[in-house]
Structure formats: structure tokens, C-alpha cells
Structure 1
């Protein structure tokens, strides 16, 4: 009897175990963020100090968990977390009220926010109202929240600002005399004047005002749904179990950049 090759092949395949295509393991936590060194950065060791704390907290609670961090400009990072079902959170946030529908983690660190200023011409002020009405222009970053008091005075026209796309641009403007001071995190300023080629040669000309605007807590902002709250609780439990969690950001900076 003649048996075709097609029939033989079909018979062989029928007795072989079926093998389904391998599926990629799902990512347990997807977070969006911005380039904000030394806290976050796609080019930094461990993707930044805050990213290392995030992964350590999740790993402490779920060692096998995988964390993916996506880097975008800040407004787009927040929008991605809001609009994409695949993204569970954004970070770091001061209060997680940039958009409705998010819940705040426990704070994993703090940001000292203040004024970068030209040396040797410091701002002399006790309360923000001391700066109101003066011929001063402050550099800010588009989409960033500063302090409520500062932002309220800007909205009222009591303080004048010139917004830029990032902190580096603001510091360049400070050196060029286009702004009188820059609202910036102290660690970010110190990192940038040491590592950014357009700044480090003139770093002696940039100081940080002795009076900070505020010390702002840093949070991971999770979606306010069942999955987001479960991930928030897992992060918070892991964070609470870490030794020296409050010093992890400074320890990272000292290890990587000192």
C-alpha cells in the first residue's frame, strides 16, 4: 500500500507531545518615572538610588518578583501610569496628587528642596513673602510641583518664574544670568554640578541657599485599584523590613559618586 509522506508526518506528529510556545514570565510591577539623577536614571547604576530602594523593598517581600522601570519626561510618565493598564505606578512623587486615582506608598526617602543661587550673591529671606514683588526670576521645571506656598504665589503673580524642560537647562540659565535662582532638589544639584560637562567647570559659581524651601517626602504612587493597593501594601511591608532604609539613598550616592 502506498503511504504518502504527508500521512507519515501526520502520524508522527500525532504521537509527539504537544509543546506550547514558551511564554514570557509576567512582570510583577511596572513603574514609570523620569530622568532625575541621582534618584532615577536609565544610565545610572541600578537605574538610580530611588530605583534601588524600590527594587529592594519589593524583593524583601517577594524575592522572585520582577520590576520594570520605564523612563519618560515627567508629564508623560504620570500620564502613562494613569492611562496604561500595563503600568501600575509612577515615582517619585511628593504627595501622589498629580493625578486623581492614585494612592501613596509609605515614604522611602526625602527631598530637600531649595534654591540654587549664584555665588557670592545669596538670597536673603525668612519667609517667601520676603521675595514677593522683588525683581527676581526663578527657574522651575515644566510639570514639577514645588511647594504649595511657592506654587500658590506663582499663580497669584507674586513670584515670577521661567520654566525649562529640565534642571540642567535651569542651572545653565542661572550661570548665564537669565534667572536669579533655581528651584531644585539639593542632591540633584550636587550631582549635576559634578557630572554635567556644561556645569562642572563652573560649579564654584553655583551654591545652594542656606534656607531650604521644604523637606519633601518621596513616595511611589500606585493606582487606586485592587492591584495597585495590593502592590502598595507589598511595597510598604518590604520597605518596613529594610535595615537603614532612610539612609539608602545617601549610601547609594556615596558608593557610586563620591
Structure 2
């Protein structure tokens, strides 16, 4: 009888020890992202402002988050093809992306502008006015619907780079007339990149903004993605998205300026 009791106890312990890692794995979400400061990046505190928002929202509903930073194109492909990765962020909404992903509620806003040489400002009123210029863009990025549709139609000439930093350096060197960039990203790179900061004032944001985009987490289409998106959206309702992002920016820029 005593032996049977010990065998039962051993079986129970083994069942519990085996079930705990499985449960923990189910409560950890793996997401892909890219180096896109100050929103995401390997060298940023907490991996960036958007990463802090995503982590807080998931934590609020009992999930842990693992964020893997890749070059942009790989981040997208990891989220689309690697079943260990549930999605990626931050992303703007687009019809093309909605073929493969479910978009969460808003995790922040991105103000999109055109960075130009201060000595050669561009005057434009409508997107069509940009046809006569060469515009720097990042390969694979969504920008704004009107701009992207004209680029796709071949009506606006663009020069592609692999990153925003390369784009801004091209503007500085006069290789392109302007570059599409998020304003917070431009401000961050203008203060943190040695080449740009040493020539601060030579680049500026055109006063006519290209647009304002909401940012989202993209979850892979399917039952699991839908479950995670619903949980994440519920978590977003429990946190102060704008407050977390603004507090992050305030501290980040204060440290950069020291």
C-alpha cells in the first residue's frame, strides 16, 4: 500500500512538473520587430517606446512577451512564415498587409513628414506636386495610401534604402531631394547619430506633413492570431498608451541631451 502511495505521488509530481513549462510557453508571446528608434530597437531602453506599450498591454492580461529585433524585411518574413513568431510591430494599416495579418487596436501614432535640406526647401500642396522630385524611402515600408499608390503607379520617383538612417544621410549628401520619415525618428537620429548631429540644422522637416498614421501590432491570420489579438486589445484598454509613450520619450531625450 505504501509503495502504491509513493508511485501515485511520483506520478502527480511528474504531471505537475511537465505541465508548468507547457503553460508558461502558452503564456509567452513572441513578436518580431525592427530597429526603428525611438519606437523599437536593440540599443533602446526596454527595446523602445512601442515595445514598452506592447509589453504593458500583454502583461496586463497575464502574458509575457519576447521581442526579437531583425532587419525590417526579415522581421516581416519571420512574422509571416515562422510559426514560433505570432506577429510583428509597429506597423501602419494597409490593404496589402491585411491579406496576411490581423491588426490590433492602436498602440501609438506616427507623424510622417518629408525631411529636406534646410538650404533647399521643397514647396508642395498635394502629393501630386512631389512628382518632380526624387524621394528617399525605405524598401518595404508602408508610408501613406496616397503616396504609396502614386509610387506604385510610377508617378513619383523614389530611391530605396535599407534604413531611415541611410535615407537621411542621402538627403544630407544631396543624393535625393527629400526622404519620408517619422518625425520622432528624425528627432532621435538627429541627436544620436554622429554624422547627423554634427551637422544639425542642415536637415529639417517640411512644414507640410505627409500624414499621421496609427501604429498597430500585426498578428498572423488564424485562430491563434485572433485569440492573441483579442487578449492584447483587452490589455490596451487597461493601460495608458499615450502616457507610457510620452513618458518614455521624455526620459529618452533628456538622457540624450546630457
Length-normalised TM-score, structure 2: 0.86
Deviation, structure 1 residue 246: 2.3
Deviation, structure 1 residue 100: 2.4
Deviation, structure 1 residue 226: 1.6
RMSD value, Cα: 2.0
Aligned pair partner of 1:89 in 83, 87, 90: 87
**What is the match of residue 189 of structure 2?**
192
- The alignment partner of 1:114 has SS state of strand
Aligned pair partner of 1:176 in 143, 155, 173: 173
Consecutive unaligned residues of structure 1, counting only runs of 5 or more, are: 1-13
What is the distance in 2 between the residues matched to 1:98 and 1:35?
20
Deviation, structure 1 residue 239: 0.6
- The alignment partner of 2:97 has SS state of coil
Consecutive unaligned residues of structure 2, counting only runs of 5 or more, are: 1-6
Deviation, structure 1 residue 195: 0.2
Note the alpha carbon deviations across 1:94-139, whole angstroms, 9 max, x for none. Answer: 016436231110011111011011113221111111222x2x2111
Map 1:1-258; keep pairs closer than 5 Å: 24=21, 25-26=24-25, 28-62=28-62, 65-95=63-93, 97-98=96-97, 100-132=99-131, 134=132, 136-243=133-240, 245-258=241-254
What is the distance in 2 between the residues matched to 1:248 and 1:184?
22
Note the alpha carbon deviations across 1:125-170, whole angstroms, 9 max, x for none. Answer: 11111222x2x21110011111121122222222111111101111
Deviation, structure 1 residue 60: 1.4
* Structure 1 range deviating more: 152-161 or 198-207: 152-161
- The alignment partner of 1:154 has SS state of helix
Structure 1: 4+ residue segments shifted above 4 A? 17-24
Of Structure 1 and Structure 2, which has the larger fraction of its residues in helix?
Answer: 2
- The alignment partner of 1:241 has SS state of coil
CA contact (8 A) 1:82 1:99 kept: no
**What is the match of residue 11 of structure 1?**
none
Note the alpha carbon deviations across 1:198-248, whole angstroms, 9 max, x for none. Answer: 2110121010111111100000011222211111111111111113x2242
Aligned pair count?
239
